[in-house]
């Protein structure tokens, strides 16, 4: 039950990116005992990713939960929190008893999907994921795409180093206040995952057995529309207008920028990386996966064997939920 004498959030879905955070957020939004933030991804606590913070003041952040009803738990989801080195300590400083949900995925699949997400947001301008990977050092030195406003997003190695991130989470957060979900289980055992989530949060099991499908692989069909949407994030006056209107519109089920983004995209097939590059990535993330295996006490050897992933053979439709 929500503790009205304590500030929000009561729980946070902290990431990682492209590991199912949006699907989990959209699914939990259906639960009557939960009050999810009026916008997903406020990124308030990730001050080390300033280019992507939606909410920059406590007043703005608190307003996201203004409509929480009596007895509802207040929660949000910001996928970059797990990658951030300051977000989880900042959340704990505000709410020492907060509950945190993390999601993890095969880092190779995660990288390919995250690269696509950066392309969609126009932070990335190199369409080939292999070439983008080898540009990380140059970009860390400041040689960035012209429209990139968050350089940290293009440091793919860091974003996808889930073992290191989960180890940091375990060091900071007591076991009773953390839950780690493996992306594979979202696909194969959604009902069991949902049972783990409701038990962890201490809410009623209302029989949800499937997760919403969100954020499929896509490419631009209209960069003009994408750049128009981006202007609401880049220009100060439009930024202020968006921040004032977005929470109220979202609370009414109106998502104009999301609709515009979907209008600018077409679904596409997730690419296969070359066998040599896949082998490179397998070696790159081997230590991270082994660390995850130890921390989660789980066999993830399929992630370590250098198997080429069986990506979708056809495009899935973009969800309108």
Residues 189-227 pLDDT 10s: 999 999 999 999 999 999 988 887 766 666 665 666 666
Burial class (CB in 10 A: 0-12, 13-18, 19+), 273: buried
Decide: 172 and 89 in contact? Cβ < 8 Å: yes
Of 52-56, 196-200, 289-293, 316-320, minimum mean pLDDT range: 316-320
Residue 312's pLDDT is 35
Q: Which is higher by pLDDT, 108 or 304?
A: 108
- Give CATH superfamily name and number for 11-304: P-loop containing nucleotide triphosphate hydrolases (3.40.50.300)
Percentage of the chain beyond pLDDT 90 is: 66
DSSP 8-class letter at 36: E
Q: Which residues lie below 8 Å from residue 111, measured CB to CB, with a gap of 6+?
A: 129, 133, 156, 159, 160, 281
Torsion of Cα atoms, 20 then 23 then 26 then 27, to 10°: -110
pTM here is: 0.85
Contact 204, 194 (CB under 8 A): no
pLDDT in tens, 213-264: 766 666 665 666 666 666 666 666 766 777 677 777 777 777 776 666 666 6
Beta-carbon count within 10 A of 266 CB: 12
Q: For 142-192, write each residue's pLDDT tens digit.
A: 999 988 989 999 999 999 999 999 999 999 999 999 999 999 999 999 999
Q: Calculate the average pLDDT of the chain.
A: 86
């Amino acid at each position: 039950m929500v503790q009205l004498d304590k500030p929000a959030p009561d729980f946070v879905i902290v990431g990682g990116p492209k590991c199912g955070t949006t699907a989990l957020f959209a699914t939990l939004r259906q639960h009557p005992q939960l009050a999810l933030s009026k916008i997903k991804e406020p990124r308030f606590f990730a001050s080390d990713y300033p280019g992507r913070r939606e909410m920059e003041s406590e007043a703005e952040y608190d307003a996201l939960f203004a409509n929480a009803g009596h007895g509802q738990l207040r929660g949000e989801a910001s996928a970059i929190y797990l990658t951030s080195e300051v977000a989880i300590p900042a959340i704990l400083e505000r709410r020492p008893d907060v509950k945190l949900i993390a999601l993890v995925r095969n880092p190779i699949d995660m990288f390919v999907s995250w690269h696509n997400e950066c392309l969609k947001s126009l932070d990335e301008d190199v369409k080939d994921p292999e070439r983008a990977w080898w540009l990380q050092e140059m970009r860390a030195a400041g040689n960035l795409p012209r429209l990139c406003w968050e350089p940290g997003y293009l440091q793919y190695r860091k974003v996808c180093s889930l073992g290191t991130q989960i180890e940091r989470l375990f060091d900071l957060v007591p076991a009773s206040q953390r839950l780690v979900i493996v992306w594979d289980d979202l696909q194969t055992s959604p009902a069991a995952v949902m049972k783990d989530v409701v038990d962890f949060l201490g809410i009623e099991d209302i029989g949800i057995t499937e997760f919403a499908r969100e954020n499929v692989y896509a490419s631009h069909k209209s960069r003009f529309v994408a750049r128009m949407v981006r202007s609401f994030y880049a220009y100060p006056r439009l930024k202020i207008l968006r921040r004032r209107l977005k929470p109220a519109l979202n609370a009414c089920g109106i998502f104009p920028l999301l609709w515009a983004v979907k209008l600018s995209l077409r679904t596409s097939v997730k690419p296969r990386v070359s066998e040599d590059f896949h082998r490179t990535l397998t070696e790159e993330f081997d230590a991270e996966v082994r660390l995850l295996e130890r921390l989660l006490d789980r066999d993830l050897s399929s992630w370590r064997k250098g198997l080429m992933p069986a990506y979708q053979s056809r495009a899935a439709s973009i969800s309108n939920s």
